[in-house]
């Protein structure tokens, strides 16, 4: 019987297999940031160990960094300590780091691909759950805990249990105005936030193949929101041409290419589970609740918890509506927004900024809200400025910021106030995720831009 793509990559990375023990898996690329690495480096120091492969390791600063006045010292002492500690650790252990002010600084999951380090067939880990983003290139990429970060630093391997495999087939074509963000939000609403638990998801089908590389990253990014260990997409011409010309693209491109072309799921391979979704039925999606599975078409009304059969889900929906300050039956499009956040590792890449700028061009955002545009990396920011997108955003009344995780999580100065409501292109709408008491609606960049113009949740079709 043939193998799935995930199984092929796994097989090729087994350093040692022994019955009754987890497989020891080789790690090709280890990404590091300031939040989950300090204890790992300290553990190395305490046991007199070195970083085995600094040449397969790279660090950047993202979660804690401010997106304004980046030339000034970081004001929050805890954030500053974490960033300073990362810098000192990288210097001590010989790890490459891109610090605030550097063109390659940015969200770790934006930086890997833009440098061309993220490539098909690799195993990639990072002490961050959204490492699944890199699966868009046909890599096996997943988040790990701090002890595992230390383990990879010391050994470049991890003892791991082999995951199960799931195929999600997104058949047919997307309608105009519907994006990869809507695909993944619809998938999570369908299979639930625990639906992918224990699985590596492979996204397949016509609608996936037609997505650009960056749109594929948006899909894989949110695999973790469906509970999956990782998500991946088989590499193809779209992937290969995206990597070509990037700084760390293979020097012997043909050798790499002939390997990459072996990376697909065999026709006779069997997935443990398969799920189907019709792309042509999809519309712009938005979340109404406090987990990413609580989503609905933007054209629909806030669901009535009383209609939910499962008692636990019903209770969760009731609590979510109270937290979100929404009423059952209210049209989603009537919901007024205070802040629009365009950014994060889900939708902070150049294509996302272009798509939003296209809608905002020559128009003014509603005076009832503010809009933050935060490029995913300093490189994305430079690219956007070269294309004049910064002007479009600024002229429309939005704020043009420096790169970082920003309002995706309440760990840096960009936060929602209690009861402040956002339309956000990020990936988590948990209670307090964007700041204590903040209310988050997850949306695509197109919906974010249209919402900014109208002041209430809107799609480009409403303009």
Q: How far apart are CA 412 and CA 435, in angstroms?
A: 10
- Span near ligand SF4 by CB under 6 A; candidates 42-50, 137-145, 272-280, 404-412: 404-412
Find the binding residues for ligand SF4 in span 188-247 (CB under 6 A): none
**Minimum distance from CB of 326 to another protein (Å)?**
29
Strand partners, 373: 342, 400
Q: Which does 62 bind (CB under 5 to 8 A by kind): ligand SF4, another protein, none?
A: ligand SF4
Residue 326, token pair as written in the block: 């929404």
**Which CB sits closer to ligand SF4, 138 or 375?**
375
**Which CB sits closer to ligand SF4, 62 or 414?**
62
Contact 340, 371 (CB under 8 A): yes
- Span near ligand SF4 by CB under 6 A; candidates 71-79, 247-255, 355-363, 403-411: 403-411
Instruction: Candidates 345, 373, 450, 457: give the one binding ligand SF4 (CB under 6 A).
Output: 345
Burial of 252 (0-12, 13-18, 19+ CB in 10 A): exposed
**Which CB sits closer to ligand SF4, 381 or 454?**
381
**Which CB sits closer to another protein, 124 or 188?**
124
Instruction: Candidates 408, 446, 448, 457: give the one binding ligand SF4 (CB under 6 A).
Output: 408
Contact 6, 12 (CB under 8 A): no
Q: How far apart are CA 145 and CA 398, in angstroms?
A: 36
Residue 403, token pair as written in the block: 């790169």
**Minimum distance from CB of 109 to ligand SF4 (Å)?**
6
Phi, psi of 275 (to 5 degrees): -130, 140
DSSP secondary structure, 72-84, as one string: SPPSSHHHHHHHH
Pairing of strands 14-16, 23-26: antiparallel
3-state secondary structure of 353: helix
Residues that bind another protein (CB under 8 A): 15-16, 24, 26, 28-29, 38-39, 42-43, 46-47, 49, 52, 54-58, 78, 81-82, 85, 96, 116-117, 119, 122, 145-147, 150-151, 154-157, 159, 247-248, 250-253, 255-256, 259
Q: Residue 325 CB: number of other CB atoms within 10 A?
A: 10
The footprint of ligand SF4 on this chain (CB under 6 A) covers a number of residues equal to: 13
**Which CB sits closer to ligand SF4, 298 or 409?**
409
344 binds ligand SF4 (CB under 6 A): yes
Q: How far apart are CA 116 and CA 107, in angstroms?
A: 15
DSSP secondary structure, 378-398, as one string: HHHHHHHHHTTHHHHHHHHT-
Residue 193, token pair as written in the block: 């936030």
**Which CB sits closer to another protein, 155 or 304?**
155
**Which CB sits closer to ligand SF4, 130 or 151?**
130
Instruction: Candidates 128, 150, 225, 414: give the one binding ligand SF4 (CB under 6 A).
Output: 128
140 binds ligand SF4 (CB under 6 A): no
Burial of 53 (0-12, 13-18, 19+ CB in 10 A): middle
107 binds ligand SF4 (CB under 6 A): yes
- Span near ligand SF4 by CB under 6 A; candidates 234-242, 277-285, 365-373, 402-410: 402-410
Q: Residue 162 CB: number of other CB atoms within 10 A?
A: 15
By CB under 6 A, name the binding residues for ligand SF4: 62-63, 107, 109, 128, 130, 344-345, 405, 408-409, 426-427
């Amino acid at each position: 019987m043939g193998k799935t793509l995930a199984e092929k990559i796994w097989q090729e990375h087994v350093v040692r297999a022994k019955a009754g023990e987890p497989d020891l898996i080789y790690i090709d690329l280890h990404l590091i940031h300031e939040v989950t690495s300090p204890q790992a480096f300290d553990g190395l120091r305490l046991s007199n160990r070195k970083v085995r492969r600094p040449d397969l390791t790279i660090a950047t600063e993202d979660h804690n960094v401010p997106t304004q006045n980046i030339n000034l010292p970081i004001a929050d002492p805890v954030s500053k300590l974490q960033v300073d500690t990362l810098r000192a650790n990288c210097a001590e252990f010989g790890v490459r780091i891109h610090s605030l002010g550097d063109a390659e600084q940015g969200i770790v999951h934006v930086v890997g691909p833009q440098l061309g380090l993220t490539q098909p067939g690799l195993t990639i880990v990072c002490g961050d759950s959204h490492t699944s983003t890199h699966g868009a290139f046909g890599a096996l990429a997943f988040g790990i805990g701090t002890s595992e970060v230390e383990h990879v630093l010391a050994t470049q391997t991890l003892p791991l249990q082999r995951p199960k495999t799931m195929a999600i087939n997104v058949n047919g074509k997307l309608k105009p105005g519907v994006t990869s963000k809507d695909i993944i939000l619809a998938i999570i609403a369908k299979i639930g936030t625990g639906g992918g638990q224990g699985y590596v998801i492979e996204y397949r089908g016509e609608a996936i193949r037609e997505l650009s590389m960056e749109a594929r990253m948006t899909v894989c990014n949110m695999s973790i929101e469906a509970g999956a260990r990782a998500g991946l997409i088989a590499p193809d011409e779209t992937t290969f041409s995206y990597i070509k010309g990037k700084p760390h693209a293979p020097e012997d491109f043909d050798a790499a290419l002939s390997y990459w072309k072996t990376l697909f799921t065999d026709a006779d391979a069997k997935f443990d589970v398969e799920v189907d979704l019709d792309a042509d039925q999809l519309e712009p999606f938005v979340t109404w609740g406090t987990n990413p599975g609580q989503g609905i078409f933007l054209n629909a009304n806030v669901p009535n918890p009383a209609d939910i059969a499962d008692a636990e889900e019903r209770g969760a929906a009731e609590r979510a509506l109270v937290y979100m300050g929404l009423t059952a039956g209210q049209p989603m499009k009537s919901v007024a927004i205070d802040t629009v956040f365009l950014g994060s590792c889900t939708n902070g890449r150049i294509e996302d900024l272009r798509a939003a700028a296209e809608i905002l061009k020559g128009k003014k955002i509603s005076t009832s809200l503010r809009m933050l545009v935060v490029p995913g990396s300093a490189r994305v920011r430079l690219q956007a400025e070269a294309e004049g997108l910064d002007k479009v955003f600024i002229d429309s009344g939005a704020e043009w910021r420096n790169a970082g995780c920003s309002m995706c999580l309440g760990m840096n100065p960009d936060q929602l106030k209690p009861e402040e409501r956002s339309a956000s292109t990020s990936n988590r709408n948990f209670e307090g995720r964007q700041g204590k008491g903040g209310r988050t609606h997850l949306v695509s960049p197109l919906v974010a831009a249209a919402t900014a113009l109208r002041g209430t949740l809107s799609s480009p079709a409403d303009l």
